[in-house]
Structure 1
Amino acid sequence: MLVISEVLVALLISLFVVQFLKLKWACSRLPPGPTPLPLIGTIWQMDFKRQHEILIKLAQIYGNIFTLWIGHIPVIILNGFTAVKDSLTVHSEDVSGRPATPFFQKMAGGKGIIFTSGHTWKQQRRFGLMTLRNLGLGKKGLEHRIQEEARQLLEYFMNERGDPLDPSFPIVHSVSNVIAAVVFGHRFSIEDKDFHQLIENNNYLTKQGSSISELLYDIFSWLMDHLPGTHQKIFHCHEFLRSFARKEVRSHQERGSPDEPQDFIDFYLAQIDKAQKPQLPPCAGQCLIWWLTQTSKGTIILPNLISALLDPEHWETPRQFNPNHFLDQDGNFVNKEAFLAFSAGHRVCLGEQLARTELFIFFTNLLRAFTFRLPEGVKEINTESMLGGFLQPHPYKICAVPR
């Protein structure tokens, strides 16, 4: 029995050494980075609560292009504006894919816009852009819907009568209702419990970002399927979004096809009828989230967009709110090339124009109607960002005092 144990230990050590040497050989063909270990790769290097900070620090050690490992899968990190912009624009076709990892397959099953690649992605994206234009993106019709949501938001703030309030929920509700109007053809009241759940589930997905359990799922999917963790909550939230979308699709199907399509689902169902392919619109519930890209050879490329927004070579005070970043010496507005908030290249955000229109209409309406002040006794709020799927502010309260 002792001999068998010793043989097993020796075998395991041998396998570990062989895998380690294989990784070392693979590393020699890739950009530099921390030394990966068998099975876990470089997970030991990551602090999942401060991911962008860790990536920026690693760039200071290994350069703006370096390699991390998810198990045996190499992930090339691009840091800083120049590296990010070049990859997304000059080499846009090469990095327009999505990784076929177990986690992404579980999330989307090869459907939709966000998590797909190749012909499916090009087809869905082309259709998405065309439909947004047909629905009035950039025209007065869609601006009218945004103005209506701005009016509802002003009313909510006005009812608070200058008392301290957390603005996050009403703002997210208003922005989500713009998307709901485009996708589903109608808005939801602020008391709608199902819509509350939709927002909460989507918020979890955007706040969570990557976690240790997600990376472990890609390495040990056969095991992680049976274990609790953040990944299970993410799958649950994603399924809720799909279920919500399916319910809206059924509602559209039951009412029949209108003479003129009124929303995204109408256009999608009409397209399905033309193609005579009975399938549900897989992208209807995937209107929010962005993440990884991948090369034609299977190596994951991760352009660290946040590093472009914090690049000290392009921003005078990169970690401070500073409107002067967008003003010239005469106080005139200037576009900043390093402002890659919507990504760039083939995977640039589908909703960029919609988002910019929303920002303008919401901000101008709010600033014209209210003066915003900190609650009595509060000297300052935490302006450091929280990283998840997106950068977000720490919770805070503010007083919206009518002008």
Structure 2
Amino acid sequence: MPGLIDVHAHLDDPGRTEWEGFPSGTRAAAAGGITTLIDMPLNSVSLNCFCRNSKTKGTKLRIDAAKKNIYVDVGFWGGLVPENAFDANSLEALLSAGALGLKSFMCPSGINDFPMTNSSHIKEGLSILAKYRRPLLVHAEIPQYSESYLEDAANDPRLYSTYLKTRPASWEEAAIRELLTVSKDTRIGGPAEGAHLHVVHLSDAGSSLQLLKQAKSNGDSVTFETCPHYLAFSAEEIKDGDTRFKCAPPIRDAANKEKLWMALLDGDIDMLSNFLNAWGGISSLQFVLPVTWTHGRQYGVTLEQLALWWSERPAKLAGQDLKGGIAVGNHADIAVWEPNVEFELNNDHPVYIKHPSISAYMGSKLSGKVLATFVRGNLVYKEGKHAPAACGAPILAA
């Protein structure tokens, strides 16, 4: 099938390579049938440069760190932050340097160098992105604190139910309502026509999902994704103190999980993504194909749907016309795998991310073994062995 494209990776390189890094992260990607990663600006020490400064310093740091260290192709999202949102020259320099689009947070990101944005910042960012016809990706949660919230959060911090209360679905709903006030600008004839809004890792299958469906039906240029862990796990089964399952937005209850599956199968949710992140996020880069297949088969998921969610639509979002499908003239990015082969994800299974034990999927029995991965026609992984040299290429927007 076409090689998978993950548009939401955190490789933390350069700088925080004790968390992950280009060599280990892209080796894991290749072993999982992923041929292209689009790296988020969050957690790299070049984040500050890549988000805000002129094209030379930040882009050079990123590309230099990636050169000869990546086993799959890697592109880069830039950052939209309050400091650059109203500076058209800064944003245009970032996009001219090759950023495939921009990413912003509507809640604290956890990193001081990447402060949160509001709808005014997002509106300004979309107006610049419209000129380049590139997307804005948004982490859609707006914190809404109250005394009762603080009291709940103070209850037994080891309980997953306590963490779940600290990030209710209303946070997602509030952010998406605010986002949709500016997404109207992306419609044909709107001031930001040509820009595109993409909501990352949706977890709320209630009001948030309904708002996004309505916006799409109204003609807004909007897409949204969910993640395999929201489809594989439910809050009820997470054990106390097991922080491997911590992510934001959080994993919600079983009923919510079923609704997400139905929205994915009905075509409302556009694609799937992963986020590989040591301090918050489900570490699963190497396993997204077998995880999606294992849990999806009970819903009748087809190989064509897998290719749509993991290849075709992510390629379109990232503006990669030569990726996402097996066709004459395309890059020969191909994953070869056995859908019916089962394997135990245990300590004996080769795992290439830096910290295998933190993955919530360890201990699982999965179906779908990746045998080989080709990137631009180069065999980069075959049955437990990687190519002797990293031959992935950095991807920069023209």
Regarding TM over 0.5, the answer is no
Structure (1/2) with the larger strand percentage: 2
Shorter-chain TM-score bucket reads under 0.3
Higher Cα Rg, which structure: 1
